[in-house]
Structure formats: C-alpha cells, structure tokens
Amino acid sequence: MKTLKQRRSDFEVHAILGLFPEDPIDFDDPFFDTFNPRITRVTIEQIEAQLALGTKLNPYTVNDQETISRLVEIGINGLITDFPQRGAR
Amino acid sequence: MATIIAHRGARSLAPENTLVAARKAFAVGADMWETDVAVTADDQLFLMHDDAMMRTTDIAEMFPDRVPAPFSTYTLSEIRSLDAGSWFERDDPFGQIAVGSVSRSELESFHGVKVPTLREAFELTLELDWFVNLELKAQPAPKDSFDVVNPPSSPWQKMWGSGLTIFSSPQLSMTG
C-alpha cells in the first residue's frame, strides 16, 4: 500500500478498522485518507467526535434503516451496506 | 450527502462480487461499490471474498477433491469454470427473495454467472461512469515479484489513466 500511495497520490487509501475482534480502533494513522470502522465497534458518540475533528469515516457494515438514517443525519462521509436500496435517495 | 457504498455489490439482492450484483447496486442508486480483489495461482486478479470459495460458488461440486484449498491454488480458467450465481436462490442469504424483493427473471439471470476478473469489474465501473472501492485480500502472503502498482496482465493502467478515482481500502496487514 505504501508503494501504491507513493506512486499514485490521487488514490484514496482507506483503513479497515476492527476486521478482527482484537484489532484496535485507531483513527490516528496519518497514512490513511479515510477510516472504515466496523460499526459494532464504535458508538454514535465516537463517530460524532471523530467527524468533529475532521476525520473522514465510512463505517461498515450498516444494514438497518434506523442506523443508516442516523449516520446520514450526523453527516457521515459514507457507509458500506449490504442494502444499498435503503440508502438511496 | 453520505456516499452509499454497496458491499460486494447489492449483495442482499444478487450474488455478491459478481457483475450482476454491481449492476443491481447501481440500479438501486448506490454511489459506489465495494469489492474484494484476490489473486489466482497464475497471478490473475479477480473478485472473491472467501478463501475457500465454497459459499459463493459450486466449487465443492466442481473440484470435490481440492476444497477447501484457497483460491490462490486455482488457475483463472478453473475459477472461470465455476457458477457464482446459482447459490443465491438456494440460500437467499438476506431473506430478500422470501419477501419478494428479487423478481423471478432476476433470479433466473443469476444462474451460471461467472466469477469476474478485476478487468471486467473496471470495465463495468467505467461503462457506468461509477466508482469502486477495492479491498485487497490478505491471502496469499505478499509476493516479492508482484508489482502492486502495475501487476502483471492487469487493467490497472487503463483504469488509472481514465481520470476516475479508485478507492482502495487495504487491510492494514497489506503493505505490498
């Protein structure tokens, strides 16, 4: 990924956070443009706090309509879902 | 507005990581699709999530003596011989067939769909003037001889020259 970013700085590089249960949820690594945290590992309050700091977030995997609507409401950058039909405008 | 990213395509409505799932995601209004990039034994890039490929293909019937060997032990032509769509109607993984969200004609169109190459995924994304987010699989171990920026026999260069932005979502372990 380092090679890719050096040679193609126009690509966005995202970090997947919480892929494995023991993985830390760390939003601090400046290598990444966007952070994709597992939604079950973060609270809405943590997400709001990161957004307020200017961190770009695309949580995964967000499937229930209520959570999708809530995240959109608080200004989430993006979300990864198995139900894109629920997020469509 | 939030970017709606369809996980492996519209995987509640069509077989994940196939071109029909990507097209479905586009049709229902997703802003982007996410997919998983895997590599074959002969260094070809294709789309697959699970290492053993049994959940989303008929590999257990096609190669009963080899499962659950990981995808990286199969050639592209072997992987292209698989049916990556029929399982969807059998398993209805998100219960969306049961509630009537998938039509009979759509279900019929899923039978026999092939595992896509990364090139096909890029071509479709370009055709739709759309975006894709690539997750790089951690398996197999990084190959010293494999150029991650311009991998062998890949369409990366064409895609990169197109002016589209490709989003890459690496696992942290992938340092290429």
Question: Which residues of chain B make contact with A57, given a CB cutoff of 8 A?
Answer: none
**Shortest CA distance from B22: residue in chain A:** A84
Contact flag A81-B4 (C-beta cutoff 8 Å): yes
Q: Which residues pair with B45 in a beta bridge?
A: B39
pLDDT at position B133 = 86
pLDDT digits (tens, 9 = 90+) for B14-50: 999 999 999 999 999 999 999 998 888 988 889 999 9
Residues of B in contact with A2 (CB under 8 A): 175-176
Is A1 close to B175, i.e. CB distance below 8 A? yes
Contacts of B3 in chain A (CB under 8 A): 58, 77-79
Cβ pair A4:B6 closer than 8 A: no
For residue B2, which residues of chain A lie inside 8 Å, CB to CB? 71-72, 75-79, 87
Put simply, whether A36 touches B (Cβ < 8 Å) is: yes
Picking from B123, B134, B135, B136, the residue whose alpha carbon sits closest to that of residue B162 is B123
Complex ipTM more than 0.90, yes or no: yes
Please name the residues in contact with B29: beta carbons below 8 A apart, sequence gap of 6 or more: A84, A85, A87, A88, A89, B4
pLDDT of A22 over the 70 cut: yes
Confidence band of A16 (pLDDT split at 50, 70, 90): confident
Residues 6+ apart with CB under 8 A from B63: B74, B78
Long-range contacts of B76-79 (CB under 8 A, 24+ apart): B76/B40, B76/B42, B76/B44, B76/B46, B76/B117, B79/B40, B79/B46, B79/B48, B79/B53, B79/B115
Cα–Cα distances (Å) from B136 to B28, B37, B92, in that order, read 25, 5, 26
Cβ contacts of B94 on chain A, cutoff 8 Å = 82-83
CA closest to B11 among chain A residues: A82
Reported as type and span, the H/E element at residue B160 is: helix B156-160
- Any A CB within 8 A of B31 CB: yes
Tokens linked to A33: 């443009």
Test B29 with A88 for CB contact under 8 angstroms. Answer: yes
Instruction: Tell me the pLDDT tens digit for each residue of B52-83.
Output: 999 999 999 999 999 999 999 999 999 999 99
Put simply, whether A74 touches B (Cβ < 8 Å) is no
More confident residue, B92 or A29: B92
For B86, the 3-state DSSP assignment is helix
Q: Around Cβ B38, how many Cβ atoms within 10 Å?
A: 27
